[in-house]
Amino acid sequence: MWPDDPWYDVPAPGRCAPDGVAAAAPDSRTGRREEQGHSAADVYLEVQRSAAFREVRRRYRRFVVPAVAAFLLWYLAYVVAATTAHGLMARPVAGVMNVAMLAGLGQFLTTFLLTWAYVRHARLHRDRAALDLRWDTQEMTRGAER
């Protein structure tokens, strides 16, 4: 392994990307018809405007924005309920379990679930396309520096 190789990455054990992903990746090679003589700044501006990059960004934001809003609201609701709505939180559910205990364990559970969902979404819908864009952008900036 070569320490400076940005592609060196250990695959997760037992987690191979399904073959269908490649088809889902957008065509990132549209930026290739770039003329020589551009500066690196122009390259980044051009990549930022490309359809492939906008697609990666859209996929990232479409997952992250609602997810962050949801878990922050759920956490704040939990903290506010725990400090103000004592009656509701103390209501028994089963055995010694009450609403407060279930809500607290629910926070743990949702954290684990959201972690799993995020990683899966990134692996299936974003990683491949981002990797292609990275190749292309680096090739273009190298061309621009020459």
Partner 1 sequence: MSGGHQTLALLLFSAFVVVTLAITTWVSRKRRGSAEEFYAGGRLFSPMENGFAIAGDYMSAASFLGISGLIALYGYDGMLYSVGFLVAWLVVLLLVAELVRNCGRFTLADVVAARMAERPVRTALGVSSVTVSVLYLVAQMVGAGSLVALLLGGTGDTARSWTVVGVGALMVIYVSLGGMRATTWIQIVKAVLLMAGAVALTVLVLVHFHGNVNTLLSSAAERSGQGGDFLSPGLLYGGSWTARLDFISLGLALVLGTAGLPHILSRFYTVPTARAARRSVVWSIGLIGGFYLMTIVLGFGAAALVGSADVRASNASGNTAVPLLATVLGGGEGSTGGTVLFAVVAAIAFATILAVVAGITLASSASVAHDLYASWRRPGTERRGEVGVARAAAVGIGVVAIALGLLAQDLNVAFLVGLAFAVAASANLPALLYSLFWRGFTTRGAVWAVYGGLIPAVLLVILSPVVSGSPASLLPGADFQLFPLENPGLVSVPAGFLAGWIGTVTSPEPPDEAKHAETEVRALTGAGAV
Name the DSSP class of 50: S
Residues with Cβ within 8 Å of residue 64, at least 6 apart in sequence: 118
Helices (H) and strands (E) in the chain, counts: 6, 2
Report if residue 89 touches partner 1, rule: CB under 8 A. Answer: yes
Site string for partner 1, 13-52 (x = CB under 8 A): ---------------------------xxx-xx-xx----
Q: How far is the CB of 48 from partner 1 (least distance, A)?
A: 4
| Length in residues, the chain | 146
The reply to whether 73 sits near partner 1 by the rule CB under 8 A is no
> Residue 7 to residues 1, 17, 28, 127, 134: CA-CA distances in angstroms?
10, 16, 18, 12, 10
- Binds partner 1 (CB under 8 A): choice among 114, 124, 128, 145: 114
DSSP state of 108: H
CB of 82 within 8 A of CB of 100?
yes
Q: How far is the CB of 144 from partner 1 (least distance, A)?
A: 12
Interface with partner 1, residue 62, by CB under 8 A = no
Q: Distance between CA 115 and CA 109 in Å, rounded?
A: 10
Binding site for partner 1 (CB under 8 A): 1, 3, 6, 8-10, 12, 40-42, 44-45, 47-48, 53, 56-57, 60, 64, 67-68, 71-72, 75-76, 78-80, 82-84, 86, 89-90, 95-101, 104, 107-108, 111-112, 114-115, 118-119, 122, 127, 130-131, 133-134, 137-138, 141
